[in-house]
Amino acid sequence: MSLEAFKSRVLPVKNKLYRFAYRLLGDDSEAQDVVQEVLIKVWDRHDTMDELENMEAWCMRVTRNLSYDKLKSRQRRMTDSFEEGFDIGATDDATPYKSAETKDTMRMIRKLMERLPDKQRHVMQLRDIEGYSYKEIGDILELDMSQVKVNLFRARKQIREHLINTTEYGLQ
């Protein structure tokens, strides 16, 4: 693919790619980064791009995949800082015992979330930690609204049951 072909076939879809990435990520700078990475990938493979029938579809797929990668890395960062950044009922006058108990509970929830099936874990992460709406989660994970709600319900139920068994009965 020549520079002229790149300018005529790829650059016109740049704004579509940005809007798609922005819808998935919800962050302007991350969406711009994704589009830039897509354009670099296209240019790096410019010698094989002439074989593609639908350049726009390929670019959209790469945009989606890179956006999902960013979401996963964001999730890892959130999971790594989950205990520190998630203060349930923490107050300035919390006793050391209460603080330790809360920290242990948050650590247990993080471990329980890691054991959930992928869909349930992603939906719970996006809803309860990231604060996305059901519709946004459906768009990000390509699920319909009912699937989002069912997966969230099942994830919360499983974690709740495990926490009750652990705290009430000492079962693990």
Q: Residues 28, 22: contact at Cβ < 8 Å?
A: yes
Looking at the chain, list the stretches that DSSP marks H as alpha helix, in order from N- to C-terminal side.
3-9, 14-25, 28-44, 55-80, 82-85, 96-115, 118-124, 134-141, 145-169
pTM of the model: 0.49
CATH topology (fold) of 81-169? Arc Repressor Mutant, subunit A (1.10.10)
**Would you tell me how many other CB atoms lie within 10 Å of the CB of residue 52?**
15
The domains of the chain are located at: 3-71, 81-169
Q: Does domain 3-71 have CATH number 1.10.540?
A: no
Q: Are 155 and 116 in contact (CB under 8 A)?
A: yes
Alpha-carbon separation of residue 91 from 88, 100, 101, 126 (angstroms): 9, 13, 13, 26
* Per-residue pLDDT at 94: 67
Write out the chain's pLDDT in tens, 172 residues. 677 877 777 788 888 889 888 888 888 899 999 999 988 988 888 777 677 777 777 888 888 889 888 888 776 665 555 544 454 554 555 688 887 888 888 888 888 888 899 889 888 888 887 788 898 888 777 889 999 999 999 999 999 999 888 877 766 5
DSSP calls for 100-123: HHHHHHHHHHHHHHHHS-HHHHHH
